[in-house]
Amino acid sequence: MKRNTCTTGLLITGLLLLAPAAYAHTHGATLGGFGNGLTHPFRGIDHLLAMLAVGLWASQLGGSAVWKVPLAFVVTLLLGAGIAVVGINLPFAETIIAASVVILGLVIALRWRAAPLLASLTVALFAVFHGYAHGIELPVAAAVSSYFAGFALATLLLHATGLALGYRLSRRTPIAQLFSR
C-alpha cells in the first residue's frame, strides 16, 4: 500500500508537470486566477526544485518537521506574494531564489539535521522570495485570492511529492545512503 501511494504521488506530479505544456497555446487569462496560480510553480525549474527540496528535507528530518517545514514555507510564500501585490519591492529576489535551490540541495546532500524550528525559519526566508516572484507575476485579470489558492495548492502538492520521494529514496534504493537519516 505504501509503495502504491508513493508511486501515485509521483505520477500525479508528473502529470502536473505537463500542465504548462498543455496550456502553452492558451492565453493566460483563459486559465483564470486559480489555473494560473496552480500552474505557476511548474513553469520555472527554480521554483519546482526548491519546493520539491523542501519536502525532501522535511522527509529527512522526520518527526514534526514533516509538517512544520512545508507549512512554514507555504505560509511565508503567501506573505511574500502579498508583499508583491501591495507594491513593495524585494531586491535580489531572483538571486535569492536561485541560491535557495543550491542551499536546499546542499542541505539535503549533507543531511543537515536542523531542529524543526531552524529548518522552518530557513525555508521561510526562501519562501518569502518565491512568493514575491509569484506575486509579481499575478495576471492582470486574475482574482488575487484564486491565484494565491492555486499556487499554494501546487506548492503543497510539490512538498508532498518531495516528502514521498524522500521517503521512497530512504528505502531500498541504490542511492538510499544519500537520503538516509
Q: What is the pLDDT of residue 138?
A: 86
Q: What is the pLDDT of residue 36?
A: 85
Buried b (16+ CB within 10 A) or exposed e, 128-147: bbbbbbbbbbbbeebeeeeb
**Can you read off the three cell numbers belonging to residue 73?**
514555507
Number of domains in the chain: 1
What is the pTM (predicted TM-score) of this model?
0.78
Alpha-carbon distance of 2 to 164, in angstroms, equals 10
Q: Note whether 67 and 59 are within 8 A (CB).
A: no
Q: What is the pLDDT of residue 169?
A: 82
Please count the other Cβ atoms lying within 10 Å of the Cβ belonging to residue 55: 27
Residue predicted with more confidence, 167 or 97? 97
Q: Note whether 70 and 163 are within 8 A (CB).
A: yes
Q: Note whether 108 and 179 are within 8 A (CB).
A: yes
Q: What is the pLDDT of residue 20?
A: 46
Q: What is the pLDDT of residues 70-119, one digit of tens each?
A: 999 999 999 999 999 999 999 999 999 999 999 999 999 999 999 999 99
Question: Which residues constitute the domain of residue 158?
Answer: 2-179
What percent of the chain has a predicted confidence (pLDDT) above 90? 62
Q: What is the pLDDT of residues 31-53, one digit of tens each?
A: 678 888 888 888 889 999 999 99
